Amino acid sequence: MRDKKGIRIDLENLDQDPRVEWAVRLAMGVTLMLVGMFLVALALGYQPRSGGQLQVPPWVGAIAGVLLMGGGVAVLLPKRRSIGWLIAMVILAGSGAISLWIGLFGDPAEISGGLPLLPESTNQTIGRVMFTLGGIICLAILAYGLWLGPGGRGRKPTN
């Protein structure tokens, strides 16, 4: 099969075509950045027509938006190790902060799910503990990543 310019397209190995990879990266990166910008706008007070509001403090929504935008940038710049490392550290710090806030200060009634045979209060406690542990794990991975540095311990980043 050939495209409009007459370039042969190998449908069996389409996943290895650099043009397809770039198109997927572009779509994912732009989508993540747009959703992130929307969350930041909500955190800054933008009210959509549906009248929905954030159920968390504005800083939590802003951090979530920045994390998504950072993920979009990381997808668009895959070969920049130093930038990828920095974005990963920001994502870990933000995820840890949000998880710890939910686990320690979030409204227990907003934590849904759990085990059907346990009372709701027990499920809420389990949810809080899991969010807190998730935040601690994110911060532990962040500390390890900061200790290693952008190129790994003792190595300089490639770019």
Kindly list the domain boundaries of the chain, sorted by start residue.
1-78, 80-159
As a dihedral over the C-alpha atoms of residue 113, residue 119, residue 120, residue 122, rounded to 10 degrees, the angle is -90
Q: Span 47-62, mean pLDDT?
A: 77
Cα–Cα distance measured from residue 2 to residue 10, given in angstroms and rounded to the nearest whole number: 8
Q: What is the pTM of this model?
A: 0.74
Q: Span 5-34, mean pLDDT?
A: 75
What is the torsional sign of CA 35, 40, 43, 47?
negative
Residue pLDDT, tens place only, 102-152: 999 988 878 777 788 989 888 888 999 999 999 999 999 999 999 988 877
The whole-number pLDDT of residue 138 equals 97
Cα–Cα distance measured from residue 119 to residue 148, given in angstroms and rounded to the nearest whole number: 43
Confidence of residue 33 (pLDDT cuts 50, 70, 90): very high
Confidence of residue 82 (pLDDT cuts 50, 70, 90): confident
Cα–Cα distance measured from residue 1 to residue 135, given in angstroms and rounded to the nearest whole number: 50
Tokens of 23: 């198109």
Interhelix angle for 58-76 vs 18-43, to 10°? 170
Between residues 81 and 92, which one has the greater pLDDT? 92
